[in-house]
Amino acid sequence: MARTNTSIDFDDFIGQISRVFPFLSSIYLTMQQTSSDRVKEKAIELGFHLVGIASVEPDDESVRHLRNWLQQGYHADMDWMSNPKREDVRACLADAKSVISVALNYYTSHPQPTEIDRAKISRYAWGRDYHRVLHKKLKTLAQWLEERGEGVRVRYYADTGPVQDKVWAQRAGIGWIAKNGNLITRNYGSWVFLGEILTNLELEVDRPHTQHCGSCTRCLEACPTQAIVRPFVVDANRCIAYHTIENRAETLPSDIENHLQGWVAGCDICQEVCPWNQRFAKETDVSEFQPYPENRDVKLSELAKLSESDWDRQFRASALRRIKPWMWRRNAAANLKHSD
């Protein structure tokens, strides 16, 4: 007697079982619609330029590096850098299993001003506040993930939480941490903003990126204050970017004042000299990152007398609001003092 073929379609089987155990349909939906490839497709669809995935397992080497950096006081007075949650993202999302890392190219090809009376502002802050741009895209991706099935949990950050974004970007295969502390990508150099989504979905991970700085030391040699004390270690106490943005003291240290070279908000010197940036920088397609005219052609003498109302008008919807009016005046005056 011939054996009857009783096989049925797997989806039909799940459907039948789900009528008895409804929660199974949610689990199956999650498994089907949140593959790593589908997550990446969605991220690119939302406008991210690069995306990778890593497992949340702690990285002992990066934890040791962070602890050593803090112990040597290289974080200056940025006390938030010592938040213990930075050592394990599961302190931010207890049941996290995967980190989805994303990058957004912000490069625009406009040159920095060369006139001695003009202020230099870091490229990342020329246009709209990157937090707003990234948060909008991350929120949309996070909501899409949550809709994949019941019980999906997410948490997202864009330079806004105790997460080592460059470490996760390297582990997710997006790029590698360079000798100047920035993350370099093969596609866009280091002119990228980073963000991440923590999730309790267990996704297929990417291979960590390998290091490609080689024997190059251009960033170390170009830094006017020797803030890159050795490869991969940056001392904020010597960094122009730190002092112009984060330092809340009334005056800047004399050894910083003497080497500002026109910088009043951040510093791009170590990025500008990087061979990877000189070769692979590409104009961004994100219109919000195009420079506001007032951020590219501003006189030091005008910033030295910046009023509260002018500050509020000029830096609305800008990451530069972190620099308060009196700090702009301080930074500009320090440059003017040594411009002769």
Per-residue 3-state assignment (H helix, E strand, C coil) for 52-104:
EEEECCCCHHHHHHHHHHHHCCCCCCCHHHHCHHHHCHHHCCCCCCEEEEEEE
N-terminal to C-terminal alpha carbon distance within the chain: 103
Among the listed residues 159, 285, 297, 310, the single catalytic one is: 159
Could you tell me which residues are beta bridge partners of residue 101?
A: 52, 196
Question: Which of 271, 272, 269, 264 lies closest to 314 in space, CA to CA?
Answer: 264
Centre a 10 Å sphere on the Cβ of residue 2 and count the other Cβ atoms it contains: 4
Verify whether residue 159 is a known catalytic residue: yes
Q: What is the CA radius of gyration of the chain?
A: 24
Helix, coil or strand: residue 186: coil
Q: Tell me how far apart the alpha carbons of residues 264 and 127 are, in angstroms, rounded to a whole number.
A: 16
Asked if 34 contacts 150 with a C-beta cutoff of 8 angstroms, the reply is: no
The residues carrying an active-site annotation are 159
